[in-house]
Amino acid sequence: MKYLQIVFFMFLAGNTLAQNGILSGKVIDEKSAEELIGTTIVVKGTTTGSITDFDGNYTLSLEPGIYSILCSYISYQTQVFEGIQIKAGEVTELNIQLGEVVMELDEVKVVAKGRQRTEAALQALQRKSAVVLDGISASHMSKMGDSDAAGALKRVTGVAVEGGKYVYVRGLSDRYSKTSLNGADIPGLDPNRNTVQMDLFPSNIIESIIVHKTFSADLPADFTGGHIDIVTNDFPAKFNLHISAKMEFNPQTNLNNNFNSYNGGKLDWLAIDDGTRGIPELANGQIPPRYTNDPLLDEITKSFNKIMEPESIKSFLNQSYSFALGDMLEVGSKVLGYNLAISYSNEYDYFDDGITGRYKLVDPGDQALTSQLRLDSDIKGVQDVLWSVLGNVNLKLNEFHKIGLLALHNHSGINTSRYQEGEKFSDEAGLYYQTRTLHFIQRGLSSAQLHGKHYFKSLSKLKTDWLSSFSYSTQKEPDLRYFTNSYRIMNGNNMYEIEPSLYPVPTRYYRDMKEYNFDNKLHFSIPFSFRGNSSRLKFGGSWVIKDREFIEKKFSFRENSNSYTGDITQYLDDSNINAAQGKLHASNSVSSDDRNSYNGFQSVIGAYISGDIQMLDKLRLVAGMRMELANISSESLKEDEKKGNLTNLDFLPSMNLVYLLMEKMNLRGAYYRTLARPTFRELAPFASFDFVGDYIFVGNADLQRTITDNMDMRWEYFFSPGEMISVSTFYKKFSDPIERTFNTEAANPELTLRNVDKASVYGVETELRLGLNFIPFLRDFMLGSNFTFIRSSVSIDKKELSLKREFDPNFPDTRVMFGQAPFIINGYLEYKNDTIGLDLNLSYNISGEKLHLVNAVGIPDVYQQPRGQMNFNISKSIGKQFSVKFAVYNILDSDYLSTYSYNSADYIFGKHSLGRYYSFAVKYSIK
């Protein structure tokens, strides 16, 4: 009830402020895009005005009406904007670019064409930036119907998002990407991945997402494809409040009586395990081995949860809700901005058409592959709950000093139930195999950031910004359950068995990961004049520390002879538990658990210096050098296991050139050196697998970091606000890249990672954003598209190659890079009519086939096949404060398909489809 009162109060607050309108925007230098601090913005002929702060931002509260706005700054040309309309309760955005005075001129008159969109502002940043940038803004995200950062990023040039979570820039895998929040490192929650899950960030907390595709010395050096910076809201122009609710229906998934799930815990809807999945208290430490005849063993066995198979339940609709508010208050002479965003979503995914296949080439001369495992029945239900709370407070002490504090907590819970069944021919013709996986992953990320920006006019106009960020993240996988059995058909009856010599006995894993991340950054920038042109010297440093603890505990359930009759409930029943009689009993090995558990520590100290120099009137150079001293260690808790330990001091030069070919047309060139470091998990001897019967993946303590030399060229033309065309080419040369390979000596199929000799990637990227207003009846249409074509080549691991060459002496010594798509295409068509508040959007994206699995001798590698995705949404504002939106996602419903290809036939490795999603959302906003 209290909750409602607060919300109600805020409504009122919003309405009382709604008499005036607000003019706000940013003033930047026309050439360098540097924010201009202390620019005067006044209503022409009055004294009503404001001064830009050190971000170049200004806000002006005005009564409704039409104004002429005058913008002036010493040594710059004064500009006048006529016909600026201020409406009650609305924000009019006016972003201004000032040019330096070449000779004394009268003021330049510009007639502003109504409100500029943030998209155009972002484009101005893109245009003026000295490095190659691409980005997407908050307004664009809401237009495209993106609910989180992952959805939005799909629309950026050369960006692909895998599984709705992980980002590939220019087709390079997430190993070569990096994500930061307001410039601060945040930990990746998935120990198998190098980057942050993008779906953790709901769009209502995001101001913009900037993708840095070239490196400059002030950025951390551990990216090659792209550095994605998520920028949160800072100072809202005025009070704003958003409440939205979305319901989504997928005929294959929602309201389905056969949804695959299990009784996990009462708080699953909050992404929190309520303890149901905890390790039974009795089972801590080494449990007594069976031969000891310790009666405690039966007690322990009985204390485990009895659920080890999925059941059918009814799923509800997908739901998501968000609430956000923000305001800017004047406290004395100081300005305080705050934002609060809360979001919650609870979504289901389901398929029952899955196929899993494993094949091999029996003889190099064979015409076809031979089936090893074919699971024709593959049913999977996933419930994904995600919630986040983010709050920030920013204080402008005066125009030149600002500090801010941000706190956030993201929480997600993914509950997966999977059932697979089919023939396992590799063991025996007529042997059927049934495997069940129950998996719950609970992830939490808490982060606090303190940051500040200062401008010291007296100290040679020194600008400094700093941040100190502390994050704590957890990943818990309590009670990951695998139950596998087989059966043979004899005289029409299924003869069930659990055969430990063919596959692991029923097993439960408990995994727990904690990671601390401490990031400190300090940047300085001093302007100076180079041949009369304004230039900047930048320098600074950073220290990032990561500390991870990963613990795995495993319990297996064994018996002396087979008592399994096909009924799991009966099998796990207390009456079947009796160690002394050789019946079912739990067992574990603390030493094995120790081997799989590890601690990781990483410290990276960085320092840089760079100059941003206007060399000639039309030529700008940013050149810098960054030094990084990194120390990474990853050690298993089992003492005699090999430890991963890397210490590297690297010097990383970078050079970016921008040449202004003509007004709004740039030619850019860049060279830079970056690196990629192995993750803790990759260095640890930890072994994991997806489902019983599949490949085991183990780390490698000998991994070294990869160095990459990069070259980029880009031509770009911003022919009108919001419209642009660009063509880029890039070339990347990797030394010692880390690639997936199989372990040639292992008795069972085992995948691992090794540094190989070298790799290279090159490609072309084009982008077009075009308004179709030149066609009369398509006045409000906008077309956007981008294409990226990439070629990659990586050396094959020496051991693997020598093996392959024994059978095929002509086997090439290179192949495409793991996970590298040969092309990425994004396109969208948009209709937007502000007068009637209607917005339609159709988007399509696809990326080419990617290497998914490297196979042993003669068996073709597995590729993930292209999967076109089309989304449509229509939104309409109703009155000033309401809007509704209807969307269809995954219109084509293409299969998720990965295949082996041999002798021009395709063999399915994995296949499923997720169905179409129809969603309806209502949004209430005050702004």
* Closest separation in Å from C-beta 740 to other proteins: 16
By CB atoms closer than 10 A (0-12, 13-18, 19+), residue 639 is: exposed
User: Which residue number, 259 or 509, has a Cβ lying nearer to other proteins?
Assistant: 509
* Among 281, 363, 639, 663, interactor with other proteins by CB under 8 A: 363
Using CB under 8 A as the binding rule, whether residue 740 contacts other proteins is answered as no
Q: How far apart are CA 304 and CA 735, in angstroms?
A: 49
Q: Tell which positions 760-799 bind other proteins, by CB under 8 A.
A: 799
Q: How far apart are CA 609 and CA 541, in angstroms?
A: 9
* Closest separation in Å from C-beta 722 to other proteins: 46
Q: Tell which positions 613-642 bind other proteins, by CB under 8 A.
A: 631, 638, 642
Using CB under 8 A as the binding rule, whether residue 361 contacts other proteins is answered as yes
* Closest separation in Å from C-beta 903 to other proteins: 9
Strands (E), 758-817: 758-771, 781-795, 814-815
Using CB under 8 A as the binding rule, whether residue 428 contacts other proteins is answered as yes
Q: How far apart are CA 132 and CA 713, in angstroms?
A: 9
* CB-CB contact of 338 with 394 (8 Å): yes
Which residues, in sequence order, are CB contacts of 626 under 8 Å at separation 6+?
217, 218, 221, 606, 607, 608, 651, 652, 653, 654
Using CB under 8 A as the binding rule, whether residue 429 contacts other proteins is answered as yes
Q: In what order do the strands lie in the sheet with 696-698?
A: 687-688, 696-698, 750-755, 738-742
- H or E stretch at 535: strand 533-558
Using CB under 8 A as the binding rule, whether residue 905 contacts other proteins is answered as yes
Q: How far apart are CA 496 and CA 853, in angstroms?
A: 32
User: Which residue number, 295 or 582, has a Cβ lying nearer to other proteins?
Assistant: 582
User: Which residue number, 310 or 685, has a Cβ lying nearer to other proteins?
Assistant: 685
User: Which residue number, 534 or 578, has a Cβ lying nearer to other proteins?
Assistant: 578
Which residues, in sequence order, are CB contacts of 1 under 8 Å at separation 6+?
none
Using CB under 8 A as the binding rule, whether residue 859 contacts other proteins is answered as yes
* Closest separation in Å from C-beta 220 to other proteins: 19
Using CB under 8 A as the binding rule, whether residue 748 contacts other proteins is answered as yes
**Cα distances (Å, whole numbers) of residue 146 to 54, 832, 844, 866:** 31, 17, 13, 22
User: Which residue number, 143 or 554, has a Cβ lying nearer to other proteins?
Assistant: 554
* Among 601, 717, 844, 924, interactor with other proteins by CB under 8 A: 601
**Cα distances (Å, whole numbers) of residue 669 to 128, 214, 660, 717:** 14, 10, 12, 15
* Closest separation in Å from C-beta 516 to other proteins: 6
Q: How far is C-alpha 282 from the geometric centre of its chain's CA atoms?
A: 39
Dihedral over Cα of 85, 86, 87, 93: its sign:
positive
Q: How far apart are CA 580 and CA 622, in angstroms?
A: 75
User: Which residue number, 384 or 800, has a Cβ lying nearer to other proteins?
Assistant: 800
Tokens of 461: 């106009």
Q: How many residues sit in the footprint of other proteins (CB under 8 A)?
A: 78
Using CB under 8 A as the binding rule, whether residue 516 contacts other proteins is answered as yes
Q: Tell which positions 26-85 bind other proteins, by CB under 8 A.
A: none
User: Which residue number, 26 or 511, has a Cβ lying nearer to other proteins?
Assistant: 511
C-beta neighbour count of 72 within 10 angstroms: 16
* CB-CB contact of 327 with 236 (8 Å): yes
Q: How far apart are CA 109 and CA 44, in angstroms?
A: 12
Using CB under 8 A as the binding rule, whether residue 648 contacts other proteins is answered as no
Using CB under 8 A as the binding rule, whether residue 503 contacts other proteins is answered as yes
* Among 374, 454, 618, 643, interactor with other proteins by CB under 8 A: 374
* Closest separation in Å from C-beta 679 to other proteins: 18
Q: How far is C-alpha 364 from the geometric centre of its chain's CA atoms?
A: 41
- H or E stretch at 718: strand 706-720
User: Which residue number, 319 or 633, has a Cβ lying nearer to other proteins?
Assistant: 633
User: Which residue number, 67 or 359, has a Cβ lying nearer to other proteins?
Assistant: 359
* Closest separation in Å from C-beta 394 to other proteins: 25
Which residues, in sequence order, are CB contacts of 66 under 8 Å at separation 6+?
83, 84, 85, 86
Dihedral over Cα of 254, 258, 262, 266: its sign:
positive
* Among 294, 309, 353, 499, interactor with other proteins by CB under 8 A: 499
Stretch that binds other proteins, among 84-92, 369-377, 729-737, 777-785 (CB under 8 A): 369-377
Q: How far apart are CA 616 and CA 600, in angstroms?
A: 48
User: Which residue number, 470 or 924, has a Cβ lying nearer to other proteins?
Assistant: 470
* Closest separation in Å from C-beta 180 to other proteins: 20
Site string for other proteins, 121-160 (x = CB under 8 A): ----------------------------------------
Using CB under 8 A as the binding rule, whether residue 850 contacts other proteins is answered as no
Q: Tell which positions 252-291 bind other proteins, by CB under 8 A.
A: 289-291
Q: Spell 21-31 as b/e; 16+ CB within 10 A means b.
A: bbbbbbbbbbb
* Among 87, 401, 409, 488, interactor with other proteins by CB under 8 A: 488
* Closest separation in Å from C-beta 634 to other proteins: 13
Using CB under 8 A as the binding rule, whether residue 806 contacts other proteins is answered as yes
User: Which residue number, 431 or 840, has a Cβ lying nearer to other proteins?
Assistant: 431
Tokens of 557: 């359930």
Using CB under 8 A as the binding rule, whether residue 717 contacts other proteins is answered as no
* Closest separation in Å from C-beta 538 to other proteins: 27
* Among 81, 907, 909, 917, interactor with other proteins by CB under 8 A: 907
